[in-house]
Amino acid sequence: MAQITLKNLGKMFPPDVVAVADVNLTIGDGEFFVLLGPSGCGKSTTLRMIAGLEEATSGDILVDGRRVNDDDPADRDLAIVFQNYALYPHMTVAENLAFGLKLRKVAPTEITSRTAATSRMLGIEPLLKRKPRELSGGQQQRVALGRALVRQPKAFLFDEPLSNLDAKLRATMRTELIKLHQSLGATIVHVTHDQVEAMTMGQRICIMKDGHVVQVGPPMEVYRNPADTFVAGFLASPPMNLLDARVVDHAGGLAVALGEARLAVPGAFNGAYGAWRDRDVVFGIRPEDMHDGAGPGGRTPLDVRVVAVEALGPEVVLVAALADGREIHARLGPGFVAPIGSQQRLHLDLGAMHLFDRETRKAIAQRGTG
């Protein structure tokens, strides 16, 4: 298995479209690394540059410390699983699996044994004689995975391989890919726009926007401490509530002014947020940090008007409006009921609050010297 390093990697499409700019990443040996971002953020282009299917216009790509920018895709010894599987339509499943090995002049007996082992592992043995068009989406996906596995490459590159599957199958394949990673200990770079995939599968995730890396880290770390409002608003569904606010003096400490409401900032943050007194910020709080009960104490009340109540089974998503009409989402227990238009009091756990610079949209450190 291999370590992949990207140094100042950039890709420009003529005449002047910057697809990827100055990406610096080190993907560890055996790591499951996820590139996450919305459409057009440059994640797939980054992956294709690693694969060698796109030429990097600047920067270096290193596999195990060796620069591979000028190597043919085949010489990089990486395998890619494409979004739409890219199986050879005129070949049977067995031929699809064996094609890469034949080209690499692997001995026929070795090809047979590797194909058999791979198809057994993925449960596609009964399909070996079928053509891709005779397979379901899920089966094609397995064959595409098998084609990558059978080559025993240094690392696997997954380009949104689950996005064409239905929700149920996607969940199953997610688990299977995690298991596969654990059993092989392979280096995997997985591209997705699905934040659930990223959160559940990645050991580390890299969030990209407009060709730039915004934040890299373990999923929960990124979830808890988003680097900016983009990351905060991208992860989870419903995402973090982001509201324009102002830091003001309040009862000897600080508070976040949300219209008429004043939310007292926990004392522990006063030092860090002190420098932001009387300045415009973006206040962020996750839906699950708002409750319908006061709880054991320490929660801050906020009066809202019920706009919609979305019962999802295990939880209820409350869409509510502040006094000035701005909407927020709260994730409440399954027992919550309230008539539309009624006034409710939510209780905010402000220990989990975030503040962002209104201009730069970057997170303001919660604990600092400020």
Q: To the nearest whole angstrom, how small is the minimum distance from the Cβ of residue 144 to other proteins?
A: 9
Q: To the nearest whole angstrom, how small is the minimum distance from the Cβ of residue 181 to other proteins?
A: 20
- The answer to whether 80 contacts other proteins (rule: CB under 8 A) is yes
- 16-24, 85-93, 262-270, 348-356 -> range binding other proteins (CB under 8 A): 85-93
Residues 129-168 that bind other proteins (CB under 8 A): 147, 151
Find tokens 């997170």 and name the residue: 363
Token output for 53: 């299917």
Q: To the nearest whole angstrom, how small is the minimum distance from the Cβ of residue 24 to other proteins?
A: 25
Helix count (H) and strand count (E) of the chain?
9, 20
- DSSP for residue 277: B
Nearer to other proteins, 158 or 223 (CB): 158
Q: Is 86 left (phi over 0), alpha (psi -120 to 50) or beta?
A: left
CA–centroid distance for 92 within its chain = 34
- 81-89, 188-196, 317-325, 336-344 -> range binding other proteins (CB under 8 A): 81-89
Contact 331, 311 (CB under 8 A): no
263-290: b or e for each residue (b if 16 or more CB lie within 10 Å)?
Answer: bebbeebeebbeebeeeebbbbbbbbbb
Residues 97-126 that bind other proteins (CB under 8 A): 99-100, 103-104
Angle between helical axes of 137-149 and 108-122 (0-180°, round to 10): 140
Give CA–CA dist 264/256, Å, rounded.
6
- 72-80, 179-187, 235-243, 259-267 -> range binding other proteins (CB under 8 A): 72-80
Token output for 308: 């919609």
**Binding-site size, other proteins (CB under 8 A):** 25
Q: To the nearest whole angstrom, how small is the minimum distance from the Cβ of residue 97 to other proteins?
A: 11
Token output for 267: 């004392």
- 96-104, 176-184, 333-341, 346-354 -> range binding other proteins (CB under 8 A): 96-104
Q: Is 207 left (phi over 0), alpha (psi -120 to 50) or beta?
A: beta
**First CA to last CA across the chain, in angstroms?**
45
Quick one: which of 82, 269, 276, 356 contacts other proteins (CB under 8 A)?
82
Q: How many Cα atoms occupy the beta-carbon half-sphere of 257 within 13 Å?
A: 14
- The answer to whether 87 contacts other proteins (rule: CB under 8 A) is yes
- The answer to whether 14 contacts other proteins (rule: CB under 8 A) is no
Q: To the nearest whole angstrom, how small is the minimum distance from the Cβ of residue 56 to other proteins?
A: 16
Q: To the nearest whole angstrom, how small is the minimum distance from the Cβ of residue 91 to other proteins?
A: 8
100: number of Cβ within 10 Å: 17
Nearer to other proteins, 52 or 239 (CB): 52
Tell me the one-letter amino acid at 205: I
Nearer to other proteins, 151 or 299 (CB): 151
- 48-56, 181-189, 228-236, 326-334 -> range binding other proteins (CB under 8 A): 48-56
- The answer to whether 349 contacts other proteins (rule: CB under 8 A) is no
- 78-86, 200-208, 232-240, 329-337 -> range binding other proteins (CB under 8 A): 78-86
Contacts of residue 176, defined as CB under 8 A and 6 or more positions apart, other chains included, come to none
- The answer to whether 79 contacts other proteins (rule: CB under 8 A) is yes
- The answer to whether 78 contacts other proteins (rule: CB under 8 A) is yes
Contact residues toward other proteins (CB under 8 A) are: 51-53, 72-75, 78-80, 82, 84-91, 99-100, 103-104, 147, 151
